[in-house]
Amino acid sequence: MDGEPPWKIPPLAPADSSGSIAAGVRLLVLPDAAAVAEQVAATLLREALRPQHRPLGLATGRTMEPVYAALNRQLHALETAAAERLRRSWCSFNLDEYVGLAPTDPRSFAAEMAARLVDPLDLEPAAVHLPDGLAADPEAEAARYRQALEAAGGIGLQLLGLGLNGHVGFNEPPCSAEAPCRVVMLSPSTREQNAGTFGGDPEAVPDRAITLGLREILAAESLLLVVTGAAKADVLRRALQEPATPELPASLLQRHPRALVVVDAAAATALDPCRLPAAAPQ
């Protein structure tokens, strides 16, 4: 919690024609997923305690499970007054939700947030916003969610995971940087990636979702992309070290002026070592 914010890490070399990490991106490589979770939780907590911060942008998925566990531990280690201030001022908007799942359905992202965030941190449920997966008109719900986020001032710090096909939120490839919050069709690979929550059956994963678009994500004050595990090493390399393209939505994050990428050693193995900072202060 103490010390300089990670944003103060000296800039990497600017992008050149060979495709190095872009100038606005800072990279922090930590030994393992546990260390990543502690770092990311500390960054979220610091942001949540910053006076007059904009809403937090939150993500779900397996990568985030240890992050929320660490956030829970760190919040309970805070002084009572700080913890109370955080609870009172909490406002977050999640990236996405499946169409067709009630918030009480244990497979929904709303239920995941209730179990990992709202209940353990004792937050006001109404302060943790997600799209309503059961809305009768999903397109209208996407528009309502977009407007609610706008009315709240847009995202301050946006937490992001990385899909195996390069999606962020549920912005499936191809996806333009201008795509707004909307209803999307999920790709077969994403339904397969997320089948674990649905008894291992990709067909049981809803085929649609409401997601914040790259437009709202790229409008955030800062981005915090979290990537762990060897399975994501190649997509991380393409996202950071190949030219930005709609074919790999995560690569469009290179355009952001304040993006911190926190990864474990396993996810970093495919990155070109010549283009990494010699030492990244934490």
Which residues contact ligand GLP (rule: CB under 6 A)?
A: 59-63, 95-96, 161-163, 169-170, 190, 194
- Using the minimum distance from each CB to ligand GLP, give the nearer residue, 162 or 261: 162
Please check whether residue 58 is in contact with residue 155, taking contact to mean a CB–CB distance below 8 angstroms.
no
Judged on CB neighbours under 10 Å (0-12, 13-18, 19+), 147 is: exposed
Q: How far is the CB of 197 from ligand GLP (least distance, A)?
A: 9
Q: How far is the CB of 278 from ligand GLP (least distance, A)?
A: 29
Is 167 annotated as catalytic?
yes
Choose among 33, 127, 121: nearest CA to 77. Answer: 121
Choose among 202, 205, 270, 197: nearest CA to 239. Answer: 270
> Residue type for 274, please?
C
Query: Which of 96, 97, 216, 264 does the annotation list as catalytic?
Result: 96
- Using the minimum distance from each CB to ligand GLP, give the nearer residue, 23 or 164: 164
Q: How far is the CB of 85 from ligand GLP (least distance, A)?
A: 28
C-beta nearest to ligand GLP: residue: 161
Query: Which of 47, 167, 171, 264 does the annotation list as catalytic?
Result: 167
Q: How far is the CB of 11 from ligand GLP (least distance, A)?
A: 26
Choose among 191, 167, 142: nearest CA to 246. Answer: 167
Is 132 annotated as catalytic?
no
Q: 135: helix, coil or strand?
A: coil
DSSP sequence for 92-129? EEESEEETT--TTSTTSHHHHHIIIIIHHHT--GGGEE
> Residue type for 35, please?
A
- Using the minimum distance from each CB to ligand GLP, give the nearer residue, 6 or 161: 161
Is 122 annotated as catalytic?
no
- Using the minimum distance from each CB to ligand GLP, give the nearer residue, 20 or 39: 39
Q: How far is the CB of 96 from ligand GLP (least distance, A)?
A: 5
| Phi, psi of 62, deg, nearest 5 | -65, -35
- Using the minimum distance from each CB to ligand GLP, give the nearer residue, 156 or 169: 169
Is 264 annotated as catalytic?
no
Distance between start and end Cα atoms, the chain = 10
- Catalytic residue numbers? 96, 165, 167, 172
